Structure 1
């Protein structure tokens, strides 16, 4: 394969690293506040492209899709429990970029108006994807409804992006230099984006606390 020949060590350790990184990032993005700053969507697409460079069949990417969906479902449940245990008060940050009262109010209003459907929609909006389980738990949204909606959203989200990357990678492989070039750029952007995200997360948590009451 083009990618294996061009990136040497990735031929053996690449898929293992992809599995660990994808499952960890997906879980964190759906469960904890740090997920606000992680590049989940682009990570899934990039992971699909990496797998396209290692395998001629699609079994591996389908298995990872199932694993990522399970990680997202588990992360949603953890986020819901955290929100439920905080009661109706969630911690925001004064002047925060994402973790602020305005964003919490937007998610709260979305859940209040559309309930089940808002949880499905939230799956495709990065920062809302992380805040939604927390707010749903704090608002005491029916747990069964939340679980069904978040699970359907997870099954639609992770596999779609992974498969998009995988089949796009298969198309890119037809040109010998194109797949390594595109993958190199995407991996670089992911590394830089994650570094910036972690830095923003630390800056966000350093801001003064501002309580927000969930209605």
Structure 2
């Protein structure tokens, strides 16, 4: 019966690769990578501060790269149907994006799958880079440590259940699924809140006419 020590030895023997994967993972994914990093940091196989540094570096690479990619794609393919889809999706979640870009970008960091769209859309719409960058910096500084510590909690909880690697992994998987479902639920409530608030504003505007 293999314990988590097997996983520890595997990661310790490939730490450099692990940190590189964290950096790349932040560019192409995000939440699951950070939580998994927190799990491994709690086990002692990854250094918390080095991991956080690679997470922040990957996050900033996505911030810069995504913004300029959005601008580049707009110049080359501005009439493509993708941008109509992108605008529709962004305004579905963030109907006040153009009125309040800072808070829309900031909040999108905490909604899985939305931040990527927001980043591209910000470049596409040429949102003031200073506003965009500040929102990304502030949200990332909160988001990254928060998810790392969530990974700590997941690891601690899973270890209290079992040190056997298959059961430990199953516990982590279940906790991740619960987290993803909670995030989706929170995103739905936020969307309803935005819809009602936006509808209320429009109704008030119509009432004055």
TM-score range, shorter chain: 0.5 to 0.7
- Partner of 1:141: helix, strand, or coil? coil
Q: For the structure 1 residues 174 and 107, does the alpha-carbon distance in structure 2 shift closer, same or farther, using more than 3 Å as the test? A: closer
1:19-42 Cα distance to aligned partner (Å, 9 max, x none): 22221011234xxxxxxxxxx322
- 8 Å contact kept, 1:108–1:135: no
Indicate yes or no: 2:62 matched with 1:75.
Answer: yes
Distance 1:10 1:112 in 2: 47
Distance 1:140 1:63 in 2: 33
- Could you list the runs of 5+ residues in structure 1 that have no partner in the other structure? 30-39, 191-215
1:77-124 Cα distance to aligned partner (Å, 9 max, x none): 111111123249374459xxxx65531443674421321111100101
Query: What is the CA-CA distance between 1:45 and the residue it aligns to?
Result: 1.2
- Could you list the runs of 5+ residues in structure 2 that have no partner in the other structure? 177-209
Higher relative contact order (CA 8 A, sep 6+): 1
TM-score scaled to structure 1, two decimals?
0.65
Q: 1:113 aligns with which of 99, 102, 111?
A: 99
Q: For the structure 1 residues 43 and 11, does the alpha-carbon distance in structure 2 shift closer, same or farther, using more than 3 Å as the test? A: closer
- 8 Å contact kept, 1:46–1:183: no
Query: What is the CA-CA distance between 1:143 and the residue it aligns to?
Result: 0.5
Query: What is the CA-CA distance between 1:151 and the residue it aligns to?
Result: 1.0
Distance 2:53 2:111 in 1: 21
Indicate yes or no: 2:125 matched with 1:124.
Answer: no
Q: Quick check: which has more Rg, 1 or 2?
A: 2
Query: What is the CA-CA distance between 1:144 and the residue it aligns to?
Result: 0.6
Which residue pairs with 2:24 in the alignment? Answer: 24
Q: For the structure 1 residues 11 and 64, does the alpha-carbon distance in structure 2 shift closer, same or farther, using more than 3 Å as the test? A: closer
Which residue pairs with 1:138 in the alignment? Answer: 124
Indicate yes or no: 2:167 matched with 1:181.
Answer: yes
Which residue pairs with 1:63 in the alignment? Answer: 50
**Alignment size in residue pairs:** 172
More helix by share: 2
